[in-house]
């Protein structure tokens, strides 16, 4: 128990924001740029692993399927982290929220890789073939719509644009919930008989959205009172 307690203390100190009070576990402000660089590098690890697998020809018997699966999986994982940042911050663990914008951009990055693999391997960059796929395959349609919604979110993530948009920025970025729903439908319809991953992600997303809705309702009740 003592070991577990020490580990929890260390983790909490790592994720909490820097304070001015001296503490053994406090993170010096000078470390923040380095930590941001570490997080940025860690988010790129899956990409470099895929590049290495492509160069060494170790993607397995179906390279295209492997690339599609891995890039899509990381889109879902980063979506979970983006949605999890605010609830953790409300519970006193705001470290993840400090990298929410970066994590959101990585959602777009891996979703774009996912789309590029599809365009290269499955439709050969043919606009006609793309239209046919969108019309005939619902999972392609919802996936493509999710990517289209990510485009304005990614473009408006720049600090300068955010300042110019003012309160409209927050309204626009609520589209992330639409991305979550469409992304989950994309995964579900692709799963066919094996819906285990879709079920797990669905439960996680549902719980996070219920938390968000409950928080907004509580805030409105407080304002009204």
Q: What is the pLDDT of residues 33-54, one digit of tens each?
A: 888 999 999 999 999 999 999 9
Rounded Cα distance, 209 and 203, in Å: 10
Does any domain span residue 19? no
The pTM for the full model equals: 0.84
Does any domain span residue 118? yes
Which has the higher per-residue pLDDT, 158 or 219?
158
Residue 174 half-sphere exposure, CB side, CA atoms within 13 Å?
A: 8
Would you state the pLDDT for residue 32?
78
What are the tokens at 12?
């909490």
3-state secondary structure of 125: coil
Exposure string (b/e) for 100-130, b if CB count within 10 Å is 16 or more?
bbbbbbbbbbbbbbbbebbeeeebeeeeeeb
Would you state the pLDDT for residue 34?
87
Is the per-residue pLDDT at 221 higher than 50? yes
Domain of 174?
36-212
What are the tokens at 120?
């290269």
Q: Count of domains in the chain?
A: 1
Is the per-residue pLDDT at 181 higher than 80? yes
The mean pLDDT of 159-183, rounded to a whole number, is: 94
Residue 81 half-sphere exposure, CB side, CA atoms within 13 Å?
A: 21
Does any domain span residue 82? yes
> Across all residues in the chain, what is the average pLDDT?
87
Does any domain span residue 220? no
**Closest to 175 (Cα-Cα) out of 146, 155, 204, 202:** 146
Contact indicator for 46, 66 with CB cutoff of 8 Å: no
Would you state the pLDDT for residue 13?
36
The mean pLDDT of 95-106, rounded to a whole number, is: 94
Q: Is 204 exposed, middle or buried (0-12, 13-18, 19+ CB in 10 A)?
A: middle
Does any domain span residue 131? yes
Rounded Cα distance, 221 and 217, in Å: 6
Does any domain span residue 97? yes
Would you state the pLDDT for residue 224?
72
Would you state the pLDDT for residue 15?
33
Does any domain span residue 89? yes
Does any domain span residue 45? yes
Would you state the pLDDT for residue 130?
95
């Amino acid at each position: 128990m003592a070991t577990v307690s020490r580990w929890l203390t260390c983790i909490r100190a790592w994720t909490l924001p820097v304070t001015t009070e001296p503490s053994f576990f406090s993170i010096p402000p000078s470390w923040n740029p380095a930590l941001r660089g570490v997080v940025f590098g860690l988010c790129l690890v899956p990409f470099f692993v895929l590049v290495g697998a492509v160069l060494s020809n170790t993607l397995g018997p179906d390279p295209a399927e492997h690339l599609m699966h891995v890039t899509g999986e990381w889109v879902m994982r980063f979506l979970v982290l983006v949605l999890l940042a605010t609830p953790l911050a409300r519970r006193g663990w705001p470290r993840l929220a400090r990298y929410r914008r970066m994590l959101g951009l990585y959602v777009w990055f891996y979703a774009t890789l996912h789309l590029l693999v599809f365009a290269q391997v499955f439709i050969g960059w043919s606009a006609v073939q793309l239209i046919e796929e969108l019309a005939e395959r619902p999972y392609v349609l919802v996936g493509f719509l999710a990517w289209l919604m990510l485009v304005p979110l990614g473009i408006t993530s720049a600090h300068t644009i955010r300042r110019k948009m003012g309160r409209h920025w927050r309204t626009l970025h609520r589209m992330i919930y639409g991305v979550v729903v469409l992304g989950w439908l994309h995964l579900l319809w692709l799963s066919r008989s094996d819906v285990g991953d879709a079920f797990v992600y669905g439960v996680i997303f549902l719980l996070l959205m219920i938390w968000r809705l409950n928080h907004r309702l509580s805030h409105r009740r407080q304002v009204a009172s």
